Amino acid sequence: MATDVTLTVNGTRRTVRCEGWERLIDLLRLRLGLTGTKRGCDDGSCGACTVLIDDIPRYACLTLAVEAQGSAITTVEGLMAGEALGPVQTAFVEADAFQCGYCTPGQIMSVEGLLRKNPQPTSAEIRTAVSGNLCRCGAYSHIFNAAAQAAESRKKVPS
C-alpha cells in the first residue's frame, strides 16, 4: 500500500509517495536523484549505501523508506557547501583514501557519523566505525588516516 513519507534530506523537507516495501536507497537514488549513495550488495554486507539517519550511520539498502518517516537524512551530497567539499570529503582527497572510489561515499558517511558523535576518536574507534564498510581495493590505511585528518581539521575550526 502506498503512503506518503515525509523526511528531511540534506536540509530540505521532502514528501514522497512510496510503497511500504520501498527501500531508502531507492527513494534517494531513483526518486530524488541523489546518486552519491551507492548500491553495492543490497543486503547490508558492504556499506556502500551508508547514509546518516538522524546523525547515525545506517545502510540505506536495509532501511525501508517508511522507517525514515520524520527523520533527517544526510547523504554524501549533503556534506558539501555548494560545490565545496566538506571536511571529511576533503580529508579523503588529501589522504588519497580511495582507489576505485566505489566504497568512498559509504566510508565518508561512516566517518562523518563517528565525528558527529565523537569529534576526537581513537584509532580503534575509527577502525570500529568503518568496520561495516568494505573496500575491495584495500585502501584501509589511507581511510584510517583520512578519518584522523578530518578529526584533526575539525579541532582547528572555531565553533
Which one of 46, 62, 79 terminates a domain? Answer: 79
Inter-helix orientation angle 140-156/87-94, to 10°: 130
67-94 pLDDT tens trace: 999 999 999 999 999 999 999 999 999 9
* Mean of per-residue pLDDT scores for the chain: 95
CA pair distance 134, 111, nearest whole angstrom: 13
The answer to whether the CB of 62 falls within 8 A of the CB of 44 is yes
Query: Given pLDDT bands bounded at 50, 70 and 90, which one contains residue 159?
Result: low
Domain count, the chain: 2
100 and 71 assigned to the same domain: no
Q: Provide the domain limits for residue 138.
A: 87-156
Under 8 Å between Cβ of 129 and 110: yes
101-137 pLDDT, tens digit per residue, is: 999 999 999 999 999 999 999 999 999 999 999 999 9
- Which grid cell is 7? 523526511
User: Are 64 and 95 members of one domain?
Assistant: no
At residue 158 the predicted structure's pLDDT band, cuts being 50, 70 and 90, is low
pLDDT, tens digit, 9 for 90 and up, residues 135-145: 999 999 999 99
Question: What confidence category does residue 156 fall into, taking pLDDT thresholds of 50, 70 and 90?
Answer: confident
Note whether 67 and 17 are same-domain residues.
Answer: yes
Can you tell me the distance from the alpha carbon of 34 to that of 19, in angstroms, rounded to the nearest whole number? 19
Count how many residues are written for the chain: 159
Asked if 47 and 74 sit in the same domain, the reply is: yes
**CATH number of the domain where residue 38 is located:** 3.10.20.30
- Phi then psi for residue 154, to 5 deg, are -70, -30
92 and 115 within one domain: yes
Copy the grid coordinates of residue 134: 568494505
Q: How confident is the model at residue 154 (pLDDT cuts 50, 70, 90)?
A: confident
Do 23 and 67 share a structural domain? Answer: yes
State mean pLDDT over 10-28.
Answer: 97
